[in-house]
Amino acid sequence: MTDAEKSFKVVLLGEGCVGKTSIVLRYIQNTFNDKHLMTQHAGFFQKNINIGGKRVCLTIWDTAGQERFHALGPIYYRGSQGALVVYDITDNDSFIKAKNWIKELKTMLGNDISLCIIGNKCDLEKTRVISLAEAEAYAKSVGAIHYSTSAKLNKGVEDLFLDLTRRMMSNV
Ligand code: GDP
Ligand code: MG
């Protein structure tokens, strides 16, 4: 399927509607849709990238909306080298949910995984309820990296995947 020298599994986690599918579609296809994309796109996506002269294959797992029924478990994230835990900067509950995911991942996978916490919808600055300072401080306290993204405006998405891939390659 691929002649990549390295391949990584990356999982998307987070409450429904925070923009997980939008982030992956922005990254893979450079598209954005205003509708909730849950049912149209479930499963995984692959992308080959070249980083520092090395060919890397990313397999990015997206949910089929099971997060709404609290039905996502270890089968989904087992064996992944990277996790993108997404919240919506305008939704406090989604930040609480993101923290719960981080706790579960750390309990189940220890330090074998690169953790990213992503504040999505940063185009909606006016209705932001989670401050960047609070989110960054939390990320630091759990050894994760925080990113701000807007899948809608294509902000931060490419950088996030590049940076994550670099971290997975050096296993930090
Ligand atoms: P998922 O359930 O986490 O996969 O979320 P979706 O990707 O289906 O997105 C849920 C809703 O949020 C959809 O209406 C998207 O158009 C919208 N959305 C996703 N990303 C952004 C963003 O960066 N900015 C804004 N304003 N809306 C977004
Ligand atoms: Mg989705």
For residue 22, which ligand has an atom nearest its CA?
Answer: 1
Averaged pLDDT score across all residues of the chain: 91
Tens digits of residue pLDDT in 20-33: 999 999 999 999 98
- With a 6 Å cutoff on the Cβ, whether 21 touches ligand 1 is yes
Provide the token pair at 34: 């205003």
Up-side HSE of residue 16: CA atoms within 13 Å toward CB?
15
Closest to 55 in 3D by CA, of 67, 68, 46, 64: 46
Q: What's the number of CA atoms in the CB half-sphere (13 Å) around residue 14?
A: 29
**Rounded distance from Cα 152 to ligand 1 centre (Å):** 8
- What is the reported pLDDT for 66? 74
Helix axes 20-29, 157-169, angle to 10 degrees: 90
pLDDT in tens, 44-78: 899 999 998 999 999 999 987 777 766 788 889 99
- Whether residue 118 has its Cβ less than 6 Å from ligand 1: no
Q: Which of 129, 164, 128 minimizes the C-alpha distance to 146?
A: 164
β-bridge mates for residue 46, sequence order: 59
Model confidence band, residue 38 (pLDDT cutoffs 50, 70, 90) = low
Nearest CA to ligand 1 atom 19: 19
Q: Which residues contact 28 (CB under 8 A, 6 or more apart)?
A: 45, 47, 60
